[in-house]
Amino acid sequence: MPKKLLPAGCAAICILIANGCSQSGSSEAANTVVLYTSVDDTFAKQVVDAFTAQTGIKVHLLGDTEATKTTGLVTRIQAEMDHPVADVWWSSEPMGTILLDQAGALEPGAMAGMVADDWPDALHAENWSWVGMAMRSRVIAFAPDRIDEPPTTLGEMIDPKYRGIIGMARPQFGTTRIHMAMLADQWGIESFTQWLVDMEANNLRLYDGNASVVQAIAMGEIDIGLTDTDDVWSGQRNNWKVELVYESAHDHPTWPSLGPTLIPNTVAIIKDAPHQSLAKQLAAFLVSPTAEALLYESTTHNTPIDGTLRALYADDVLSIDRLPDYIRAAQKVREAMDVCEQVLISP
């Protein structure tokens, strides 16, 4: 759980120092920009409301369900490529964004100049069609009243002592989808397949979303689960008995780890967006220190990328020194999903 949240006034201060304050003219402020997002409604609305308060620009926000988030909206954007409806895409993970970029659904170069020059290369497309920001982490959640020593690596989760008490979200959607692709990329398909086979043999239980995994732990259906940091902290806010551990770095011969698996939000402008000028203003706001501060201070507690914010929150942010190659991992999505289907969905 985060050590502490800074006072709400900090976000207001960040708004004052953010780039592009109150630039919208009165005619544009009366218009509406369309945002498709897989970010949870509570957090998306908080950021969007701050944007509207700052610019006067209204935002029509379209989300998706917990079970199909990201995947459903990616499919919709692809279907609308000949007649775009959305202006801006804000995803809670990078894989769908990368796939949209490869399909030609995002505006090349549209995000250039919106973030600092030292933004990590792993967190933007080479042609600046998208930018990553505000990161969550995959974690191992557990019931502290039933588990004294939770596993700290994915390889430990195949131990027979955890048989029938581990769960995760269905792998076809959301951050579990990207996590599986990243594991397939890091371990290789053979080792990834073996891990899934061993997890299935250990009676892994599947749920409709990461929040459902945390709830299942709180309700006593399972004792351990793979989920995201923000879902654990939201559960704790509901007074659920659930804690988390980050995966530790280790040199296992089959299932090594670099440490916590970090998942960035991603922002992009849709190619041929109907409201280009408004889209640029919204996209710039979403990757600004203001938005990152708001997300950090919320219960989602995302780790910011902006250097000023990282210095401000230095005692309470995850390291971004060793980020994975998200674009390379995206190439493993289809193969990883095929393995998940074969092993977990229809064994």
Q: For 308-329, what is the mean pLDDT?
A: 92
For position 128, what pLDDT does the model report?
98
Q: How far apart are CA 135 and CA 142, in angstroms?
A: 21
For position 20, what pLDDT does the model report?
44
Q: Which domains does the chain have, with CATH numbers?
A: 9-136+263-320 (3.40.190.10), 137-261+332-345 (3.40.190.10)
For position 6, what pLDDT does the model report?
45
Nearest to 265 by CA among 139, 133, 115: 133
Q: Helix/strand/coil (H, E, C) string of the chain?
A: CCCCCCCCHHHHHHHHHCCCCCCCCHHHHCCEEEEEECCCHHHHHHHHHHHHHHHCCEEEEECCCCCCCCHHHHHHHHHCCCCCCCCEEEECCCHHHHHHHHCCCECCCCCCCCCCCCCCHHHECCCCCEEEEEEEEEEEEECCCCCCCCCCCCHHHHCHHHCCCEEEECCCCHHHHHHHHHHHHHHCHHHHHHHHHHHHHCCCEEECCHHHHHHHHHHCCCCEEEEEHHHHHHHHHCCCCCEEECCCCECCCCCCECCCEEEEEEEEEECCCCCHHHHHHHHHHHCCHHHHHHHHHCCCCCECCCHHHHHHCHHHCCCCCCCCCHHHHHCCHHHHHHHHHHHHHCC
For position 56, what pLDDT does the model report?
94
For position 66, what pLDDT does the model report?
53
Torsion of CA 218, 223, 227, 231, to 10 degrees: 20
Q: Could you read off the pLDDT of 223-237 as tens digits, one per residue?
A: 999 999 999 998 999
pLDDT band of 27, cuts 50, 70, 90: low
Question: How big is the chain, counted in residues?
Answer: 347
Q: Could you read off the pLDDT of 267-307 as tens digits, one per residue?
A: 999 999 999 999 999 999 999 999 999 999 998 899 999 99
| Residue 249 and residue 258 in contact, taking contact as beta carbons nearer than 8 Å | yes
Q: For 306-328, what is the mean pLDDT?
A: 92
For position 2, what pLDDT does the model report?
46
Number of other residues whose CB lies within 10 A of the CB of residue 318? 16
Q: Does the pLDDT of residue 57 top 90, yes or no?
A: yes
| Residue 195 and residue 264 in contact, taking contact as beta carbons nearer than 8 Å | no
Q: For 255-263, what is the mean pLDDT?
A: 87
Q: Does the pLDDT of residue 12 top 70, yes or no?
A: no
Q: How far apart are CA 119 and CA 139, in angstroms?
A: 25
| Residue 239: exposure state from Cβ atoms within 10 A (0-12, 13-18, ≥19) | exposed
Q: Does the pLDDT of residue 162 top 90, yes or no?
A: yes
For position 65, what pLDDT does the model report?
61
For position 68, what pLDDT does the model report?
56
Torsion of CA 36, 42, 44, 50, to 10 degrees: 140
For position 35, what pLDDT does the model report?
98
| Residue 256: exposure state from Cβ atoms within 10 A (0-12, 13-18, ≥19) | middle
Q: How far apart are CA 169 and CA 176, in angstroms?
A: 6
Q: For 238-257, what is the mean pLDDT?
A: 90
Q: Does the pLDDT of residue 16 top 70, yes or no?
A: no
Q: For 239-259, what is the mean pLDDT?
A: 89
Nearest to 53 by CA among 112, 95, 106, 12: 12
Mean pLDDT, the chain, whole residue set: 89
Nearest to 175 by CA among 93, 230, 246: 93
Q: How far apart are CA 345 and CA 206, in angstroms?
A: 9
For position 277, what pLDDT does the model report?
95
Q: For 57-80, what is the mean pLDDT?
A: 84
**Higher-pLDDT residue of 16, 92:** 92
Q: Does the pLDDT of residue 44 top 60, yes or no?
A: yes
For position 26, what pLDDT does the model report?
45
